[in-house]
Chains A and B, each alone.
Chain A
């Protein structure tokens, strides 16, 4: 059991000579029971990660700042201790497991914590056997970590966090980089850990629509310092992060609000709401043509002979599982990525032959690791540099950034922004450029629902300017909201090129949640539902 009493955590901000405290978490009092499955959510940058880190000492040990109050775990106040003193009771898994791995093979990684805690070898053996069965990784024990899929890596990370018998598990967006299959695998084992092993799970997530049906309660980090916890249906009154299923319930005035797809389906069948057919944009002039494109890395073929073209006035989604070749395709189109064969023709010629600045005139791209694009010391300097480069009126980037991420103090360092805020900043910088072709690789990771709506709006206005947009993503609900056309990659092969109604419709491979709920042909996004 975790009890928080008057827990307060503040980052210190030095402003010349004055040091001020801005509380991220202010006077929090709440209790989390043993075996409870808690979803931790909140708007972009509200401090979900920080909140989790306070529960095992990583904040303030690794983040700086000051903490006060009481943090009782099983009755003992552990506030102020170093993270390694929490290790025997609390397990922690972060967003990118590959950066946290200390071992070479799966078994090395799993036993690490047990070794550090000095458990006897016999006990470790038993623990490894049990935990690897529970997480379904018994067959992988001898494999090098780098050869595993994202979902497998994340399960190994969970196993290594629980090997010493920890009964509390903190997870910071463990599925944000995973495809549907990988995310479902992880969610399934978390559910089982709670119900069978009595592990208390605190899961911070952004894509919550498919998680809320599984959890016992929802904890919201509001961003103004307050943190609230309660039953799922009562926690979504902040319009910034209402998941689609609740949005649907609110829109149609359903009571009680549906939480599971089954609840919603029942209500849908009883009320039979009206909906419009999806309006898909007519394709404009062709602006980019990919022909016979192939990408190989050594002996691995990431992309097999692919041809298609992109047209203005159209938003195209690129979908497929992890490792299907989406990112390789994006970089190969951009021109600086590896390309084994084929051509990518734009109005200025093949992107591979263009200089950096010529490329930027025809094409703008947001890569998966968006933060790599940031390099200045303050947010305001980044915004100014962006306006200057894009030759747009001063303040344009700032305006777009504010739409995506809300109002933020511009004197802070871009590295101090949350992952979602950094992504919003890079989106603003890249979208303010006037290039005809826009490529976005996973542009919704870590964004809350209001940021996604703002991004969708911006992309709609780009579409109306006769520009072409290509979005590689796992985010089905986002695709349902804005795409006019969907390309599907499977193991490096383009297997389908069709309307979103085909791919996201009821019973299809990437069925959207609304399609699953309603089972209506031609209905995939909430915007279509009439009042």
Chain B
């Protein structure tokens, strides 16, 4: 066993808590959105891809990574293509690509200028922006293909259970869509299509119907086994805890958004974040105390999780440090 495979053994998808992979994915996405260094972004792309290669198992959700890779590639290409085609306000001085320009006059306003010379700076900017989006997509893709959505449910606290279920069904949707897309496409080729029949009716509708059917089937099976039971909590308690959880999430999201988009208002951000966290803890405490759900076996935290979480925390601190010092 080589050193890399031994390391991968510790953090392989089956041996880790799915929450760690989601936290790692989200922190990589945050790092990517904070940096403008092309090398860091490319490193994140390559890093996530190699982590997936090393750690994934042969579960159905692990198959969805091909989709994310394609999406990332498309995003990079589109971002650069748009920059080249809709070339607004590029100075001609340090031209990097000398393309002839096309002016389209609509007869009113300014003529629309397409192509034309592009400065190295503008090209660079588009490239970095494309890679940033790609890195975020791949980081989320990593979480999605390594975290077992079914195990994810087991690791959430009782109070957030219903929200977590909705989220995990939603997360499950992407791999399911991809699976039914390939199945339906194969089935369509068996049927053939008369002239005048649009391809979109043949593929998109059955795929969506199939995905919804499957999610409904899962929901029915969960409901038939007691999911969503109010138990001995009063309506008031259930609604109160949910409301509190919702407010907490709003605070945390606002805090995080402020942090990302205007990193200079640190006091406000920290207030939002800490207030949100406190509310969340209270809400979880409140409803967990009256939990009507038993946890037969909790998903344990292992050495692998500690490694993943430490590394992502370090990366995030570094990125924040970089962003604030600028």
Contact = CB atoms under 8 A, between A and B. Distances in A.
Nearest to A96: B217
A115 interface: yes
Interface residues of A, number: 64
Given A99-B217, A367-B190, A88 B205 contact: no
B220 A116 contact: no
Given A61-B223, A92-B224, A375-B202, A118 B292 contact: yes
A373 B223 contact: no
Nearest to A161: B225
Interface stretch (A100-108, A316-324, A486-494): A100-108
Contact of A121 (B192, B193, B220, B294): B294
B217 A388 contact: no
24 contacts: A62-B219, A83-B224, A84-B226, A85-B229, A87-B229, A102-B225, A104-B151, A112-B222, A113-B225, A115-B293, A118-B231, A118-B294, A164-B226, A298-B58, A356-B189, A360-B192, A372-B186, A373-B190, A375-B188, A376-B201, A388-B194, A389-B191, A415-B209, A415-B213
Nearest to A376: B201
A88 B203 CA distance: 41
B187 A372 contact: yes
Given A58-B223, A146-B59, A114 B294 contact: yes
Contact of B228 (A84, A121, A433): A84
A160 interface: yes
B180 to A, nearest CB: 8
Interface in A421-444: 429-430, 433
A336 B189 contact: yes
Given A94-B217, A114-B296, A356-B189, A82 B228 contact: yes
Given A62-B220, A83-B220, A103-B150, A112 B187 contact: no
Contacts of B150: 101-104, 108
Interface residues of B, number: 51
B302 interface: no
A498 B154 CA distance: 52
Contact of A118 (B58, B154, B293): B293
Report which residue of B59, B153, B222 has the largest number of chain A beta carbons within 10 angstroms of its beta carbon.
Answer: B222
A94 B216 CA distance: 13
Nearest to B183: A372
A369 B183 contact: yes
Contacts of A160: 225
Interface in B42-69: 58-60
Contacts of A99: 214, 217-218, 221
Q: Tell me whether chain B's interface is mostly helix, strand or loop, or mixed.
A: helix
B224 A111 contact: no
Nearest to A83: B223
A116 B227 contact: yes
Interface in A334-373: 334, 336, 356-357, 359-360, 364-367, 369, 372-373
Contacts of A112: 222, 225
Contacts of A503: none
A56 interface: yes
Contacts of A113: 225-226
B184 interface: yes
A120 interface: yes
10 nearest CB pairs, A to B: A100-B221, A87-B226, A116-B226, A372-B187, A113-B225, A389-B194, A111-B296, A83-B223, A388-B194, A92-B224
B145 interface: no
Interface string A155-194: 0000011001000000000000000000000000000000
Contacts of B203: 375
Contacts of A359: 189
B231 A365 contact: no
B192 A58 contact: no
Given A83-B224, A92-B225, A356-B189, 13 more contacts: A87-B224, A91-B225, A100-B217, A100-B221, A102-B225, A111-B296, A114-B294, A114-B296, A124-B294, A360-B192, A372-B183, A372-B188, A388-B194
A455 to B, nearest CB: 18
Contact of A336 (B186, B218, B219): B186
Contacts of A389: 191-194
Given A118-B291, A118-B292, A367-B190, A102 B228 contact: no
B206 interface: yes
Contacts of A91: 224-225
Nearest to B225: A113
A356 B192 contact: yes
Contacts of A61: 223
Contacts of B184: 372
Nearest to B216: A62
Contacts of A385: 194, 197
A236 interface: no
A108 B151 CA distance: 9
Given A99-B217, A374-B206, A430-B190, A84 B296 contact: no
A88 B227 CA distance: 11
A115 to B, nearest CB: 5
A199 B313 CA distance: 53
B169 to A, nearest CB: 10
